[in-house]
């Protein structure tokens, strides 16, 4: 039996998610989409696909007849708007999958920590950059402690809609916090670049992890852990891949980064990724859209299956 879900947000992320749900999920049935722009492409597509719509936001959503059977609601709006959406939906007993950087619920990165939060009332999908890079930080941390994790996410400006642009500060803060709380780094930093290049460039991510003691470091084990994690992400994001081999380099003693390593020599592990989108809504360069919506879909499917199993 399928679980009925709804989406708030008719922009790039919400529309791509709707299409994924309709095409790819055998377990989740999207029955409603809410937006605030009556002329948005997302709401127009939803109507053509026989999904109930409203342009009155969350207030209109809860008035739809279809909402009565909805168990999960995806929020693809903004961090500021999510706070009220969560308040309304929690009061009505709905589970919320948050694709904004609001971070009211626990951070979830599916291959790292989804199993720990299957019963949560609200889960936060961090950010597109977080979904792409935190698995790598966690993979390095599975072999050796990560004293500092830094990620740089570069996405095409064409793939960044108004919601993404409004949330740049929240993006960096939320991603940095999740690098620590989910990835396991002692300290985290996140940078996002909106690249205006034409033709648009594919999403690319760089991950730097500072670890200790090059002589004792099992570089083969670190590489194997990273490659295994890449395979786990590829299970739901086929366009996710390593751009080149994992790199290891000693950090010079006079480099400011060296101070972040508490003892011994400092080693920088560098991983270069690219994420090609499935082009369900935007073209393939929008891997940032694809990894975010794919992670949300994966999360909701696992949560729904867990709820069925415990009934």
Domain ranges of the chain: 3-125+290-310, 128-283
Query: Rounded to whole angstroms, how far apart are CA atoms 290 and 252?
Result: 38
> Parallel, antiparallel, or unpaired for β 148-156 and 188-195?
parallel
Residue of 128, 209, 266, 286 marked active site: 128
Copy the structure tokens of residue 228: 């295994």
What per-residue confidence (pLDDT) applies to 255?
87
162 is in an annotated binding site: yes
Would you place residue 169 in the very low, low, confident or very high pLDDT band (cuts 50, 70, 90)? confident
Least confident of 71-75, 140-144, 192-196: 192-196
Domains 3-125+290-310 and 128-283 share a fold: no
What per-residue confidence (pLDDT) applies to 154?
97
> Which is the CATH superfamily of the domain at 3-125+290-310?
NAD(P)-binding Rossmann-like Domain (3.40.50.720)
Give percent above pLDDT 70 in the chain.
100
Assigned fold of 128-283: Dihydrodipicolinate Reductase; domain 2 (3.30.360)
What per-residue confidence (pLDDT) applies to 308?
87
Q: In Å, how far are 37, 98, 126, 133, 223 from 228, measured between CA atoms?
A: 42, 27, 22, 14, 9
239-248 pLDDT per residue, tens? 999 999 999 9
Rounded average pLDDT over 252-269? 88
pLDDT at 183 over 90: yes
Would you place residue 160 in the very low, low, confident or very high pLDDT band (cuts 50, 70, 90)? confident
Single pTM value for the model: 0.95
What per-residue confidence (pLDDT) applies to 17?
98
212 is in an annotated binding site: no
Query: Rounded to whole angstroms, how far apart are CA atoms 103 and 111?
Result: 19
288 is in an annotated binding site: yes
165 is in an annotated binding site: yes
What per-residue confidence (pLDDT) applies to 161?
77
Rounded average pLDDT over 287-295? 97
pLDDT at 166 over 90: no
Q: Please give the torsion angle defined by the CA atoms of residues 47, 102, 284 and 134, in that order, rounded to the nearest 10 degrees.
A: -150
12 is in an annotated binding site: yes
SS3 content of the chain, % helix, strand, coil (to 5): 45, 25, 30
Residue 122's nearest CA partner among 74, 174, 80 is 74
209 tagged catalytic: no
């Amino acid at each position: 039996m399928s679980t009925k879900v709804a989406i708030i947000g008719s922009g790039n992320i919400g529309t791509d998610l709707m299409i994924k749900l309709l095409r790819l999920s055998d377990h989740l049935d999207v029955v409603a989409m809410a937006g605030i722009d009556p002329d948005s492409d997302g709401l127009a597509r939803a109507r053509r696909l026989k999904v109930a719509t409203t342009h009155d936001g969350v207030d209109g959503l809860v008035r739809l007849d279809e909402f009565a059977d909805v168990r999960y609601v995806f929020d693809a709006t903004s961090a500021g708007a999510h706070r009220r959406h969560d308040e309304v939906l929690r009061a009505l007993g709905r589970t919320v999958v948050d694709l904004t950087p609001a971070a009211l619920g626990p951070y979830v990165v599916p291959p790292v920590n989804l199993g720990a939060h299957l019963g949560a009332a609200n889960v936060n999908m961090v950010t597109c950059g977080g979904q792409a890079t935190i698995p790598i930080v966690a993979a390095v941390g599975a072999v050796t402690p990560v004293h500092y994790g830094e990620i740089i996410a570069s996405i095409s400006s064409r793939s960044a809609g108004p919601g993404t642009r409004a949330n740049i500060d929240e993006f960096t803060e939320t991603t940095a916090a999740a690098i620590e709380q989910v990835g396991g780094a002692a300290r985290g930093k996140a940078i996002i670049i909106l690249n205006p290049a034409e033709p648009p460039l594919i999403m690319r991510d760089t991950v730097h992890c500072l670890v200790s003691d090059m002589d004792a470091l099992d570089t083969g084990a670190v590489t194997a852990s990273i490659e295994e994690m890449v395979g786990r992400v590829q299970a739901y994001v086929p366009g996710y891949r390593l751009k080149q081999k994992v790199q290891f380099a000693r950090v010079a003693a006079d480099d400011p980064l060296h101070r972040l390593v508490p003892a011994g020599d400092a080693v920088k592990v560098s991983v270069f990724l690219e994420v090609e989108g499935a082009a369900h809504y935007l073209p393939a360069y929008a891997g940032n859209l694809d990894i975010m919506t794919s992670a949300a879909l994966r999360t909701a499917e696992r949560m729904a299956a867990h709820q069925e199993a415990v009934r």
